[in-house]
């Protein structure tokens, strides 16, 4: 393991920042989970968020998705300050989240799962008065978005339970991609999957980025992070220890920063 | 009896085939097999008046099983079906015998049944109590309360309007009661709700995985409440149908309705674990029980055998459900 000192953070260009957190603080009683953390997601990138257990990764993500309310600091979406009332609020603003556990309804088919909670109704009186679902259009849209993401599935009318674990998670990821207008947050999306299935999901995440949607990827899996991420945000003790590029830093460097073995002098991006 | 389509005419490859077609194909075969056996062994079985009788005998359980299906699809169970239905008959009967307007009395009693469903749903979704315990409690409370209200005994309910569902009309060679027609209308309406609307889709989603439903933003608790509410309403309509069959309000009636309705649902292929199955299966399941009882009676076989065969069918149906889940 090489230890190049001192590590230089990647300079930031303030243009094209989709989601930003400034000096966000969150305390649980005496415990400070977030101690003035900064965060910055740029347009069109995959930003990995890594950190040891208890470093504040999941609290940061919860703050960004509206699941917890920060005690201090601010969160900006497209440069505008936002105060999410809850996860639904964040979602209405175009932020979709994919969870580690497979959030799908197994007996429903792929199209139904993709549109679950956001079903389309038929046009005209059938939809407005009789509340009839537009199953055909949902199937077509589902097929189209799967084709766009180059995600191969047996048939859109298959029950999700007939799919492999990777394909199921693929459905959850595709659902997020289908509805996210600003960004997608993935919380350990491959933690429950095997090696080959993980590969399928990583492909999908890359396809989402390539369509122009930025992705925040929370992961423990360093090889996955280095395979996918454009930048790596490293959490330590409730703060951002550094943001590094996988091109200039090794896994060893990242782990060293995570654990505090290597100090980064000024990890915060210089700002505007 | 072939009025029951296995799957709707539109795309058999769609959600339909998954949710309705496949699970109800088995029950339909069982129904046809029993029908065939009884038709061969006894020529009277297929006589139109006998088929009319089967339908009339199926009407109460068949209707209560609609509500039971909704509840079981959410991975719940309703043990207060019969008690709520009897509550409806006694309230309507009491009001009418006290001189109130029959239509208003019936409407009020349907409202009370709906409220009973609402109470069950409120305890289940609000306090997160297990449906089994809540509905068992309501069964106990209602059974005692109904005997107190009616002073222990049954009383006759003689009223044109309350008995209307027992009136008959001729449809071709068939003699059908209005109650049977009302049951089919309810099946059609609730089928539409379950299969063609967001509401139904969400019932399946919650039965499949409440956690996934919550994560995609479905208000799970409010939805559960609406399911029990609708079930209570259907039991109220069931009370009207019961008064049409037997013009009597009896606190001790319908004691086997819980098990019979669950039997119809389970034989119809709906999973007790929730999220799988559907109403067409339940209708077939209710008809299987009706055909079985009728056929065995016609054959002069001791009624005890009817319960025995029904019991075996239930166990086979649940075992098949378990096996198919283990494979998947």
Number of domains in chain B: 1
Give the span between the Cα atoms of B70 and B207, in whole angstroms: 10
Question: Residue B1: which pLDDT band, with cuts at 50, 70 and 90?
Answer: very low
Residues 215-254 of B with CB under 8 A from A: 215-218
pLDDT score at B229: 98
For residue A37, cis peptide bond before it (omega within 30 degrees of 0): no
Q: Quick one: average pLDDT of A136-152?
A: 89
Highest mean pLDDT among A202-211, B34-43, B64-73: B64-73
Nearest to B317 by CA among B275, B280, B277, B266: B266
What are the pLDDT digits (tens) for B199-219? 999 999 999 999 999 888 899
Residue B290 has pLDDT above 90, yes or no: yes
Q: Which residues of A touch B278 (CB under 8 A)?
A: none
The answer to whether the CB of A205 falls within 8 A of the CB of A190 is no
Which residue of chain B is at minimal alpha-carbon distance from A120?
B198
DSSP-assigned states of every residue in chain A: ----SSPPPPP--STTEEEEEEEEEEEETTEEEEEEEEEEEETT-EEEEEE-TTSSHHHHHHHHTTSS--SEEEEEETTEEE--SSHHHHHHTTEEEE-SS--S-TTSBHHHHHTTTS--B-STHHHHTT--B-HHHHHHHHHHHHHHTT---S-TTSBGGGS-HHHHHHHHHHHHHHH-SSEEEEESTTTTS-HHHHHHHHHHHHHHHHTT--EEEE-S-HHHHHHH-SEEEEEETTEEEEEE-TTT--HHHHHHHHHTSS--S--S----
Test B218 with A117 for CB contact under 8 angstroms.
yes
Cβ proximity of A45 and A23 under 8 Å: no
| A103:B215 CB<8 A | yes
Handedness of CA B148, B154, B159, B164 (dihedral sign): positive
Please tell me which residue of chain A has the smallest CA distance to B189.
A130
Which range of A123-132, B224-233, B256-265 scores highest in mean pLDDT? It is: B224-233
Residue B311 domain-assigned (yes or no): yes
Residue-level pLDDT at A14? 55
pLDDT-based confidence at residue B19 (cuts at 50, 70, 90): very low
- Which pLDDT score, from 0 to 100, does residue B327 have? 57
Does some domain include residue B6? no
Query: Which residue from B197, B208, B211 is facing A108, i.e. has the nearest CB?
Result: B208
Q: What mean pLDDT is predicted for residues A176-199?
A: 89
B217 → closest Cβ in A111, A117, A161: A117
Chain A interface disruption, residue of B198, B219, B327, B328, most A CBs within 10 A: B198
pLDDT in tens, B178-189: 999 999 999 999
CATH of the domain at B312: 1.10.3470
Average pLDDT across chain B, whole number:
89
Of residues B325 and B15, which shows the higher confidence score?
B325
80-109 of B, contacting A, C-beta below 8 A = none
| CA of B12 vs chain A CAs: smallest distance (Å) | 10
CA distance B189 to chain A (A): 11
pLDDT band at B22; cut points 50, 70, 90:
low
- Whether residue B56 is contained in a domain is answered as yes
Instruction: Give the pLDDT confidence score for residue A60 in this predicted structure.
Output: 94
> Which residues make Cβ contacts (< 8 Å) with residue B101, sequence separation at least 6?
none
End-to-end Cα distance, chain A = 35
Residues of B in contact with A131 (CB under 8 A): 196-199
| pLDDT on residue B135 | 97
Which tens digits make up the pLDDT trace of B138-184? 999 999 999 998 887 899 998 999 999 999 998 887 889 999 999 99
Predicted pLDDT at B234: 98
Mean pLDDT, residues B65-77 taken together: 98
Query: What residues of A are in contact with residue B191 (Cβ under 8 Å)?
Result: none
Contact at 8 Å (CB) between A177 and A209?
no
Asked whether residue B2 is assigned to any structural domain, the reply reads no
> Which domains does chain A carry?
17-259 (3.40.50.300)
CB proximity B201 to A under 8 Å: yes
Tell whether B123 is covered by a domain.
Answer: yes
Model confidence band, residue A8 (pLDDT cutoffs 50, 70, 90): very low
Tell whether B205 is within 8 A of chain A (Cβ).
Answer: yes
Range of the structural domain that residue B143 is part of: 15-38+46-323
What b-and-e string marks burial along A91-111, b requiring 16 or more CB atoms within 10 Å of the CB?
bebbbbbbbbebbbbbbbbbb
pLDDT at B232: 98
How many Å apart are CA B87 and CA B249, to the nearest integer? 9
Assigned domain for B3 exists: no
Residue B9 within a domain:
no
Mean pLDDT of chain A: 87
Res. B3: pLDDT tops 50: no
User: What would the pLDDT profile of A220-254 be if each residue is shown by its tens digit?
Assistant: 899 999 999 999 999 999 999 999 999 999 999 99
B204 touches chain A (CB under 8 A): yes
Each residue's pLDDT tens digit, A53-98: 889 998 999 999 988 999 999 999 999 999 998 888 898 999 999 9
Q: In this model, does residue B88 exceed pLDDT 80?
A: yes
Q: Which of the four pLDDT bands, split at 50, 70 and 90, describes residue B13?
A: very low
Residue B30 lies in a domain: yes
Q: Does B75 touch chain A (CB under 8 A)?
A: no
Q: What is the pLDDT of residue B267?
A: 93
Q: What is the reported pLDDT for B171?
A: 84
Separation of alpha carbons B86 and B189, rounded Å: 23
- The confidence band for B12, taking pLDDT boundaries of 50, 70 and 90, is very low
Query: Which residues of chain A have a CB within 8 Å of the CB of B197?
Result: 131-133
**Of the candidates B19, B198, B217, which has its C-beta nearest A131's C-beta?**
B198
């Amino acid at each position: 393991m090489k230890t190049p000192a001192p590590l230089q953070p990647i300079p930031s260009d303030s243009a094209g920042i989709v989601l930003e957190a400034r000096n966000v603080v969150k305390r649980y009683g005496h415990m400070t989970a977030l101690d003035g953390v900064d965060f910055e997601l740029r347009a069109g990138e995959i930003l990995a968020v890594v950190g040891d257990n208890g470093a504040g990764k999941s609290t940061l993500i919860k703050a960004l998705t509206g699941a917890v309310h920060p005690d201090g600091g601010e969160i900006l979406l497209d440069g505008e300050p936002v105060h999410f009332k809850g996860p639904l609020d964040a979602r209405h603003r175009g932020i979709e989240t994919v969870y580690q556990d497979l959030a799908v309804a197994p007996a429903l088919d792929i199209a139904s799962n993709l549109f679950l909670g956001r079903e389309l109704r038929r046009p005209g009186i059938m939809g407005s008065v009789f509340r009839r679902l537009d199953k055909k259009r949902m199937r077509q849209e589902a097929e189209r978005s799967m084709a766009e993401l180059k995600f191969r599935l047996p048939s859109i009318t298959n029950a999700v339970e007939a799919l492999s674990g990777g394909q199921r998670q693929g459905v959850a990821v595709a659902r997020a991609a289908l509805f996210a207008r600003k960004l997608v947050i993935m919380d350990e999306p491959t933690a429950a999957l095997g090696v080959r299935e993980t590969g399928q999901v990583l492909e999908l995440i890359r396809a989402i980025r390539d369509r122009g949607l930025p992705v925040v990827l929370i992961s423990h899996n360093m090889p996955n992070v280095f395979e996918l991420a454009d930048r790596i945000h490293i959490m330590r003790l409730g703060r951002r220890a550094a943001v590094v590029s996988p091109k200039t830093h090794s896994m060893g460097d990242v782990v060293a920063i995570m654990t505090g073995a290597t100090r980064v002098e000024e990890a915060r991006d210089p700002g505007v | 009896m072939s009025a029951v389509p296995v799957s709707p005419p539109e795309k058999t490859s769609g959600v339909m085939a998954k949710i309705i077609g496949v699970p109800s194909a088995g029950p339909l075969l069982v129904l046809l097999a029993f029908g065939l056996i009884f038709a061969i062994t006894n020529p009277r079985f297929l006589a139109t008046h006998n088929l009319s009788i089967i339908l009339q005998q199926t009407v109460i359980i068949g209707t209560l099983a609609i509500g039971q299906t909704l509840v079981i699809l959410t991975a719940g169970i309703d043990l207060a079906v019969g008690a709520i239905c009897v509550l409806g008959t006694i309230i309507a009967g009491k009001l009418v015998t006290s001189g109130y307007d029959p239509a208003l009395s019936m409407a009020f009693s349907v409202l009370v049944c709906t409220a009973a469903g609402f109470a069950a749903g409120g305890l289940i979704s609000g306090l997160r109590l297990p449906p089994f315990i809540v509905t068992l409690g309501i069964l106990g409370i209602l059974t005692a309360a109904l005997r107190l209200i009616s002073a222990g005994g049954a009383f006759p309910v003689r009223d044109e309007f309350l008995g209307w569902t027992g009136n008959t009309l001729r449809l071709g060679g068939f003699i059908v009661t209005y109650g049977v027609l009302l049951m089919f209308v309810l099946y059609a309406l609730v089928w539409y709700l379950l299969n063609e609307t967001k509401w139904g889709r969400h019932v399946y989603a919650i039965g499949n995985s409440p956690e996934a439903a919550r994560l995609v933003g479905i208000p799970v608790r409010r939805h559960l409440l609406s399911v029990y509410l609708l079930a209570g309403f259907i039991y109220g309509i069931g009370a009207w149908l019961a008064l049409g069959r037997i013009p009597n309000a009896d606190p001790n009636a319908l004691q086997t309705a819980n098990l019979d309705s669950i039997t119809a649902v389970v034989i119809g292929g709906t999973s007790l674990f929730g999220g799988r199955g559907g109403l067409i299966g339940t209708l077939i399941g209710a008809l299987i029980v009706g055909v079985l009882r009728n056929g065995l009676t016609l054959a002069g076989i001791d009624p005890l055998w009817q319960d025995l065969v029904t019991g075996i069918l239930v166990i086979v149906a649940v075992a098949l459900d378990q096996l198919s889940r283990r494979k998947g």
